[in-house]
Structure 1
């Protein structure tokens, strides 16, 4: 069959010429003037009295008398093309010059190799002169090894060759887009079908494009970690941090997913689960916790999809998933499309919520307004409450084009409606977590129980509950008989030790000497400032006194503390406002004075990037109220409101 689609792309004159040749060749073959045309057969084209060669010669003479340059060889060649390729074979063929020209094959192979090497290394984009240098170095290496080389072309010729070999679809893309392109698996792609709530839950983190005000007046850009259910598009949990999400914060998301969100003071009655479009009475009969719950679905994940971030591949998070019977599915590094649903949700939060808040800075510096820093006025707890309220009132009640019921394929559903439709089929099995379950989410360490108690990080924890176990073997051979210890980096005043009877809280021996709550973030700052010149006990007591002095100075009068000290305490206090399920407050909570529930955190290493230093990227601009916003972006560049 001739490619009729390609024929439509040709000029009218070219198509008409092909049709004319077809009529002439049809007469050579059958004697008739054209397909479907009847008429007398001329004697020179009569198949019964002439041969094919005679008819071809007659057609050549006829075309030449009509003014066409058609020799016998030309007619014969066109006949062969028509028989083998049909009408498309009669289209004039133009020779197309190769983009590579007469370039040396060895040179072409070397340039391809250098291009691929740079893409795999994800190097920053440079100039073509760098590529020419690298190709020249490869040429020198080949000459040293005695391999056949090539002659380096002039810069202009090399630049043309490089442009011909480079992927044209990636020339205008930035490095992040290029990394995403090269990290994706080879097509074809198969869409993942999810049919149950919790069958596939995506975990991911992203910086929030809104500046928050810390206690000392400095500004910081928090990081948000969410858990998104693919089947219903429901956000099951959200954690906000100013110093970066830690391992236990990801584990706390699991607790939020399986625990109802309790109504906050000031929230309207319409935000309750009882007023949502869900089978509330049936759900309440199997899960009494929903009586005072807000309209956020409660879903037990079956499989969580994570990236290669250290937060999600940490022992704390993987151990929490294992204890809850949840499978973990990692995605390839730097592969955003593998978590496309949650990545798109981040973009929707920007367009539907964040751009309306004071202190919005845009996704990159080029979008930032001149007065964004002076507009910032929200604290981290306030931003957390705004996001959670928006998720309930806006996100979960907004129709998504990607959510369709099999019986109503033309009707888009909201995440709450989709959850109600699916939970009516799959059912709801509550998973209440006890205090011990929440302790399991904390960071784990292994230490011996000595006569002094348990010591680590220049803190000593001791209690009468450890009597009878001092110097004893725990029976865990893989840990050389040490005891399992869980600790909360947002509340270092106590730890939990797993004894044969269960978890037992053990206080810090100097907890009474520190008047105000503190975190691991603050403790690491004190450890760097106070150098050890005494024994362990004296140095620990000196650290406790220095910590109490710092907290008192920062709390009473800011001018008595240095800029770095105010920033350390401000970050710590901001992270104490993270919301956790009420049942976890005793284990995961912080003793800080605050309105919202305290947060849970992860252990921080000695070289933790969240520990402030001279290069800490915090804005020290004092916030000022009410400044005009930045210029308005064109909404046509945003996503379609119905993006799913």
Structure 2
């Protein structure tokens, strides 16, 4: 593009937005040619309609007829098409955009992402902004005005005073687009920048290959069974990435702890026993694996909750997941372990347990863990 900005493509539109853009195009082509397809060779039944017949009406008359037609449309339908406010001038602008950009010229700006790239950001300025960002990581938190002065200083020292630097507002917008709002604490920003993200693509092909752990505050109060008062609890979940099934969960009063995370890991490997008041619909339902066989391994009737030996457990950077207790639990659960991931789970965000063999036996080992 002449202005250095990348315009939206058809792939940027969702299916329903693409359909709406095509309906807008049909209305416009009926105004311009008298036919919704744009040609008399692909005329639909009843076309051209009398008020849009190109041999009997002018373009201005057809635009006025289309304005009247769209204003008589149900307001909700017109709003879905982005044509709730329509005029002859609107149709003129739509025709000009269609002639220049085709179908994407008719897509409402609310349906497409903003234009990417900025004409004012030259190669020199694009080099200066990341350099200043890297410099600011090792300082106390500074204002955007200070960052602007550092960008000016970098450009002058490296490329000379003749290189033009954009205005402060443009730099602020670009900084926000590239690095976020900057509302986090400086030490957290440094920690996030220090993480080396992996580039390998993991293809998940079986249950237990990847299990994700996460903790969130429960949005409702829970009644304490000791004192009978409502208390806040945290919900810790274990989700199997292959089947998207919930394999274990824990409710922790007040806040989560490393012991509860370790217990969730144990619950992933351990079959859930049936309770006396549970009906047959709660019993082991998985086809291909007889319930009697699983009950023989576990020593009790098994409820219908998945269990397996996880090979990789992924977490976020919460302190409970970086605790030495959780790391030691992951080491004990696995016959083999990736020491780099276990020694630095806060950088990798992953604990590799490397479990192999019988999950029921592994569950028995987990039960003997500290806090198990």
Give the TM-score normalised by the residue count of structure 2. Answer: 0.48
Which of the pair has more CA radius of gyration? 1
Give the TM-score normalised by the residue count of structure 1. Answer: 0.30
